[in-house]
Structure 1
Amino acid sequence: MLSYGVSKSSSRVPHIVTFCCNNPHHPTTTHAESHSVVTRRALSLLATATASVFSVPVLVSSSSVRYLEAAAAASTPRFSELPESGGVKALDLRVGDGDYPVNGDQVAIHYYGRLAAKQGWRFDSTYDHKDETGEPIPFIFILGSGKVIAGIETAVRSMKVGGIRRVIIPPSQGYQNMDQEPVPPNFFDRQRLFTTIFNPTRLANGEGSTLGIIIFDIELVSLKHL
């Protein structure tokens, strides 16, 4: 099961000592300002990295800054566009060890859906759909049926059972009408989703290229050959 949240204590940044040029008790250097700028740049790169924990040394030299920049760049996740997907971009958070599904298979997925146009607003999550025992209920569909938005079908088709993938789905591969699945069971979430994606005023203003961008975290739980 996926877990979401941000830990305030999961990463630590070094204590940066700054020198005030107007204070006679502080040493001065002609490179202080430029070094501070480079240091802030390195910390910014580090903050955007998604490795679980970094242990960062005190930044005292340009070589340390270059090392941090390289480490941050190497650990930043890379999305790649799926072949023949119409622009769907994917990042594998965990690669599964099961089978690949094919058209006609019944697949079960858990998902966490967000809407980019609402600053990452979560419009639905299967982990909130519980059975009588309190277990989350996965979303089940037939791959290739056309009832599910194209971006999800494309993403699932190249996953293995047990895998978890984050996908960015452009409007052309997302919701084209209100009959496509998956949709939030909650009426108000469903209405908010559709009134954002299909907002006539914003579409008329040329915002169609961004309104329907959907971000899904998908876990391929199981598949069944029918």
Structure 2
Amino acid sequence: EGASLIGPHRLGRREVLKGSTALSVLAPSVSPHALAAIEAPPPMVDVPTSAFRRIPGGGQLADLRVGTGKEVTEGSKVYLQWILRRSNGYYVDGSIKLLSTKSGAVAVGDNFDERDIFVFTVGDGTAMPGIDAGVRGMKQGGSRRLVLPIKQAFTLPIDKSAGPLPSGYGPRQQITREIQREDPYNYFYFEVEATRVR
């Protein structure tokens, strides 16, 4: 307890070797020292359907861990670690950077860098509607799974969408393709953790 539910976890030697093979092909400039410190995200935790409750405006949320700090309310400044997945569970992007490989996903770079955390004030329109509504009532240190229909998540053009917004071209293209499918039953998973609430 106390460890991040959405943060990376240490890999065993076998997983590091599998991941390093993929990384050696995809990123030849990665040093051997960096490969030794490769971390992977936890698998997507199964959450019973009964644990979910509705989010005002659309979508659902489930607490993965209840925090013990200050509660998020209208006007709170929230520092949010986040992971975005498509409806099939495929990792898209997040404040924790990952590289998908055949054997799963491995974290790369500075994974808990303060610059990657999404910081917003609840109710000011900076966060997408589903995130803004989905974090209300969370306490600092808590984490949630949010299941957001497209209309509660991103808008086109993606560069003008509310956050959290991936910075890379590839993740933004994935989101754009999902929106353009115009599937009323399509959604995104977000796993969020309130690391600080003011």
TM-score range relative to shorter protein: 0.5 to 0.7
TM-score normalised over the length of structure 1: 0.57
Whole-angstrom CA distance in 2 between matches of 1:125 and 1:146: 20
Q: Which amino acid aligns with 1:188?
A: G
Q: 1:141 aligns with which of 109, 113, 120?
A: 120
2:192 corresponds to 1:210: no
2:95 corresponds to 1:126: yes
Alpha-carbon contact 1:79-1:89 (below 8 Å) kept: no
Q: Residue in 2 aligned with 1:160? A: 139
Whole-angstrom CA distance in 1 between matches of 2:173 and 2:132: 23
Q: Residue in 2 aligned with 1:220? A: 194
Q: What secondary structure sits across from 2:135 in the alignment?
A: helix
Structure 2 CA distance for partners of 1:164 and 1:133, relative to 1, 3 Å: closer
Question: 1:77 offset after TM fit, Å?
Answer: 5.3
Q: What secondary structure sits across from 2:91 in the alignment?
A: strand
2:160 corresponds to 1:188: no
Q: Residue in 2 aligned with 1:112? A: 83
Whole-angstrom CA distance in 2 between matches of 1:101 and 1:144: 11
Structure 2 CA distance for partners of 1:105 and 1:122, relative to 1, 3 Å: same
Whole-angstrom CA distance in 1 between matches of 2:95 and 2:72: 20
Q: Residue in 2 aligned with 1:93? A: 64
Whole-angstrom CA distance in 1 between matches of 2:111 and 2:85: 23
Higher relative contact order (CA 8 A, sep 6+): 2
Q: What secondary structure sits across from 1:210 in the alignment?
A: coil
Question: 1:3 offset after TM fit, Å?
Answer: 4.6
Which is richer in strand?
2
Q: How many residues were matched structurally?
A: 146
Q: How many percent identity over aligned positions?
A: 25
Q: What secondary structure sits across from 1:78 in the alignment?
A: helix
Unpaired stretches in structure 1, ≥5 consecutive residues: 8-48, 51-74
Q: Residue in 2 aligned with 1:175? A: 154
TM-score normalised over the length of structure 2: 0.64
Q: Which amino acid aligns with 1:78?
A: S
Stretch moving more, 136-145 or 157-166: 136-145
